[in-house]
Each structure stands twice: as C-alpha cells, then as structure tokens.
Amino acid sequence: MRLGVFGGSFDPVHNGHLFVAEAVREACGLDRVLFVPTREGKHYRNGAMSASPEHRTAMLRLALAANVRFALDDSDLSPDASGYTADLIPRLQARYPDDALTFIVGGDSLVRSRWQRLDEVIDRLDGFVVAPRGEVTADDVDAALDGLSPARRAKVRTIDLPLVAESATIIRERLKESTSVRYLVPEPVYRYIGEHGLYTA
C-alpha cells in the first residue's frame, strides 16, 4: 500500500489541510493519507500549540470521518516522541512495514520551519511532496532544498495546486477576535471549537 504522511500541528485542522491531502493523494496515486499530529511545537514557527493534543486529535477525528481514504495516526503523540520528522518516520515504518511512505509538506512549512536532518528524512521515504502554500515561491522551495544530493532531490516532487488561503494562524486570530471561521474549517470542527471555547482571547 502507498501511504501519504501528512504531519503537522493541526491547530486546528482546516479545509485547506483536507484539500491538499486529497489533491496529493490523487496526484500521487496514494491509497491512503495518514494525518499525524505532533505532540509538541517547540521547533515550530510559532512555538507552543494553542490547543491540547486531546482537542487537536478530537477535531482531526471529526474532520477525517467523511473520507475513507484519510486516517489519523498517533505515532507522534506518545510521551517519548520528539516531534521531529526524522524521528517520526522510523516509527511509522515499524508500524507499516509493508507500505511505501510519501511525506506531504506545505511549502510554507518547508521554507519557514526549522527542519532537522532533512537528508535523513528523504532517505527513508518513497517520496517527498511539496504543496504550495501562501506566498512561498519556487525559488524559496529550491533554496530550502539546496544541498540535497541529486538522488535525494529526485525524490522531491512539487505538486501544482491552487493556492489555499486558509491557515491555522488566520483561523486562531479570527477566533480571538470573535469573528466567524465557519466554512474555513469542517462543520463538525466548527461546532467543536464553539462547544469547547477554543482559541478565544
């Protein structure tokens, strides 16, 4: 089986995440996409997560329920998980030993996050797919991948997708301002956020 691995904070999961995952799944012929939330955000662009792992996982379950090709994987939520992709991939290979793994990353995450051991990550994967996000350019992506060997660079594929305007940062900001995020997130997630009072000032 060919599995996509979509890691991130998902704080919260939104429609942009779902669109990117489905578009990459189709373009790359993946059988399923695993959404893999990380437990800690110490190495993320904006530091600590706003919602707890329990809330983020609950929202993911609600968001993924409508697509049988999507699944939640909790490998990066265990207490001993480092939150780094280089440490996550071996965990996933042990859990899915017969499957080929393709990692999915947004262009903004690739360019702006503090990636560690990217060469090691790519060596363990069948493919590494970059989806455009925000104002990240092709030159930005090339710069982030600079230094990879030709063999590793050959595993990297950039998917041509419409730019997705949604971002978790925008959603959190709107919620802090008591502005609606309906239709930016799946309807069950929208209701969950309201019921639990998440991301309010």
Query: What's the confidence (pLDDT) of residue 85?
Result: 94
Which residue in the block uniquely carries the two structure tokens 């990066």? 76
181 and 199 in contact (C-beta within 8 Å)? no
Distance CA 113, CA 107 (A): 10
For the stretch 97-144, pLDDT in tens is 999 999 999 888 888 887 889 999 999 999 999 987 777 888 888 998
Q: What percentage of the chain has pLDDT greater than the value 90?
A: 73
Query: What's the confidence (pLDDT) of residue 46?
Result: 52
Contacts of 94 (CB under 8 A, 6+ apart): none
First-to-last alpha carbon distance for the chain, in angstroms, is 44
Q: Residue ranges per domain, the chain?
A: 2-195
Domain 2-195 has CATH 3.40.50.620: yes
What tokens appear for 14 in the block?
């939104």
Write the burial class of residue 34 (CB in 10 Å: 0-12 exposed, 13-18 middle, 19+ buried): buried
Query: What's the confidence (pLDDT) of residue 23?
Result: 95
Distance CA 109, CA 115 (A): 9
Q: What does the chain come to in residues?
A: 201
pTM for the structure as a whole: 0.92
